[in-house]
Amino acid sequence: IWIFHGFYAEEVLVGNLATMSTSERIKAIQKMPETMKKKREIRNKVLKEITKKSKHHSTQFSGCAQCLQGAVVSFRRFGNTLSEYFHLLRFWHKALKIIGAEFGTSVLSYFIFLKWLLTFNIFSFLINFSFITVPQFVAAEPNNLSFTGLELFTGAGYFQQTVLYYGFYTNATISKIENGPSYNMQLAYIFTVGIYFVTCFLILLFSMAKSFCRNFVNPQTYSGNASKLLCTWDFNITNEKAVKLKQKNLSTQIKEDLTEVNREVLNFSVTERVVRTVIHLVSWIASLGTAVAACAGVYFLSINNLKLFVKGHKNDLENQAAMLVLPIVASLLNAFIPFFYSWLGHLEKFQTPGHHVYITIIRNIVLKISIVGILCYYWINIVSASESQCWETLVGQDIYRLVLVDFVFCLLGSFFGEFLRRIIGTTVCVSLGLPEFDIGRNVLDLIYAQTLTWIGILFSPLLPGIQMISFSIVFYVKKVSLTMNCQPPRKVWRTAQMTTSFTFLLFFPSFVGVLSVIGVTVWRLKPSEECGPFRGLPSMYAAVSKWIEILENYTASKWVVWIYHNLITSVLFFFILSTVALIITYLYWQIIKGRKTVTKLLRKQILN
């Protein structure tokens, strides 16, 4: 009887699922408290039931409708089969699981952040290559410069007359066939870059909101201590290696949660508090003074760098080698000053590793963003007003060298900072032991590199492709260096909120600063007269205004003109939009506060 009852209940379930829409059916199956194997069996039975019904009513449909119905079912089956095996193709999934199990979520957060930045560069490279570079190949002229190999390091010489830089792109309307469809390179250039930055802005906002909600608003929903111990084991895992890896991962997460719960609050005497405060003040004065001195050195070197450019575009070995002085000095400052900041952090003796990491990150972000800010001031106010024939290409070459040298120093940092440190700690001075992975310094290196890439997109459209390759190499180098040279953190601590901090730092000041630089360049600066797609215009944005004037003569395009005048160029529209956003943010924050208050009251009632 029980067997018959179970069979009948399953038949009723299959019949009900067959009547649902595709999205409703998928959600219903996902919510079932069954194993993955059982869910797949139910899904296959539902698909068979749908196929039977379609054959039963085949007489009511025409031949075309039957073919369409069969194609839909086949496509649905193909999609379901593809989704089953899609998890096997997830990027670096196995490597991330191993890192999380061996070194904890603090180190894992760095590699997840690196992978996330890589997707930004892949997306940027694809759209730039598709909508800017490929059309330029049609109108490209032959390159008469000789290739010596030094251009790979300096970015000058042969590369000046390639699609790598802004100055090579034409300002003409490209048309392969006479009286055929044409391609406006000016509009394609500015709209491609603009749409990419708008997309990045929305992705960053969504990621910050999602991470903030998960880690700050209701963290217990996602990281319950009891649920990890009792409810997170996947009984479909049968492979011995996978079982051991899952055990290590859960063990590390539970240790992190217990450390967070059992954290002791140290009570210091008045004298100890005064001494600690003095140490903190001296450390901050030393760190800020170092950042100011580094910025001054970069500024004077950049002025000297411009003189080399203005001398002429000669393929002289000494001139091209001298161009590497600025990026090498900037990378040296970014490489060695963070070690000084880490030493200051150890001197201050913070109560938790999290405080040490966050303070180190703040000091590093001040240093790196200050250096980038000085370089942006130099590019916008000095290079753009120089006597160079194509100042945009000069900026692109500067950024190319900075990105390349920063990548080289990142690899050298893994060798000297981790490999040699392991040799010293295991042979020369055994008391030092193995080094720990410096999360703050490595994360800020990624943010610095991504900031340079975002600035360089306007002057070197293919720069994201170079950064894409460098990030891929950095991932594997850091992974190998981590497993061979580093030890897990001595103090286990939970870092669920660290990903939110990384995303926020990427958004502000990095992305917001880049938008400011791009905005000034597009709206205020005059393009070069002899190169680039915007030559001869008072500003890059003038290409859009000129296009709108042309559209005003066409009745079918009046709606585009109306949107441009009443929304895009309207100060009132953006004021209303900002007001609505602030109101929504305020209401959302009040809801969060109310939810927290209710949660506290419920906890008190339960305890009572």
Sorted by where each begins, the domain ranges of the chain are 1-33, 110-215+256-537, 218-255
Question: Rounded to whole angstroms, how far apart are CA atoms 38 and 472?
Answer: 38
For residue 173, the SS3 value is strand
Q: What is the pLDDT of residue 538?
A: 93
Nearest-CA neighbor of 99 among 85, 119, 113? Answer: 113
Cα–Cα distance list, 409 to 330, 361, 440, 490 (Å): 11, 19, 16, 27
Enclosing H/E stretch for 510: none
Nearest-CA neighbor of 196 among 466, 548, 421, 511? Answer: 511
Cβ 391 vs Cβ 528: under 8 Å: yes
- What is the 3 state secondary structure string of 281-310? HHHHHHHHHHHHHHHHHHHHHHHHHHHHHH
Total residue length of the chain: 608
Q: What is the pLDDT of residue 463?
A: 95
Token output for 427:
């042979």
pLDDT mean for each 10 residues of the chain (608 residues): 48 77 76 76 82 60 56 61 51 79 81 91 93 87 79 84 91 75 89 93 86 62 52 61 66 61 62 84 93 92 75 59 86 89 82 76 90 93 85 92 93 82 81 80 90 95 94 92 83 62 87 93 92 92 90 85 83 81 73 60 58
Residue holding tokens 């049609």? Answer: 138
Cβ 165 vs Cβ 159: under 8 Å: yes
Residue 487 phi, psi (nearest 5): -110, 160
Cβ 166 vs Cβ 459: under 8 Å: yes
Task: Give the predicted TM-score (pTM) of the model.
Answer: 0.77
The amino acid present at 193, given as its one-letter code, is: V
Q: What is the pLDDT of residue 542?
A: 92
Strand duo 173-174 + 183-184: pairing: antiparallel
The amino acid present at 23, given as its one-letter code, is: S
Phi-psi map region of 536: left, alpha, beta (phi>0 left; psi -120 to 50 alpha): left
Q: What is the pLDDT of residue 443?
A: 87
For residue 388, the SS3 value is coil
For residue 328, the SS3 value is helix
